[in-house]
């Protein structure tokens, strides 16, 4: 996430907070930190059904088995299982 949007985010916050005389340097640095935190918080909401997320574990499987990644090894998984978008 950082590598893909880090440079663009740095340019945007630089232009937004550091150009002009609206903010002092201290206020601009504080606003940049708050902006970074607010833009990073949605990452905690990403949930992968098979592996879980930052806040909860994997989703149970449809057939009632345990967690998504707990009942089998990665060696015996069909290669197409990871690439199915819709079922």
Can you point out the beta strands (E) in 1-87? 47-48, 52-53
Residue % of the chain over a pLDDT of 70 = 66
Q: Which two tokens stand for residue 78?
A: 């069909």
Question: Does 62 lie in the same domain as 32?
Answer: no
Average pLDDT over residues 59-66: 61
pTM above 0.75, yes or no: no
Question: Does 79 lie in the same domain as 53?
Answer: yes
pLDDT over threshold 70, residue 68: no
pLDDT over threshold 60, residue 12: yes
For helices 25-40 and 2-13, the axis angle rounded to 10 degrees is 150
The torsion defined by the Cα of 73, 76, 82 and 87, in degrees rounded to 10, comes to -110
Question: Does 52 lie in the same domain as 30?
Answer: no
DSSP state of 48: E
Question: Does 50 lie in the same domain as 39?
Answer: no
Give residue 22's domain range: 2-43
What is the average pLDDT score of the chain?
A: 75
How many domains is the chain partitioned into structurally?
A: 2
């Amino acid at each position: 996430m950082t590598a893909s949007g880090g440079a663009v985010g740095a340019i945007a916050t630089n232009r937004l907070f550091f150009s002009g005389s609206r903010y002092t340097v201290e206020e601009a640095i504080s606003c940049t930190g708050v902006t970074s935190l607010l833009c990073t918080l949605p990452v905690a909401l990403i949930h992968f059904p098979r592996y879980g997320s930052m806040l909860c574990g994997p989703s149970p499987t449809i057939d009632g088995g345990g967690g998504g990644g707990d009942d089998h090894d990665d060696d015996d998984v069909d290669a197409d299982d990871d690439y199915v978008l819709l079922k």
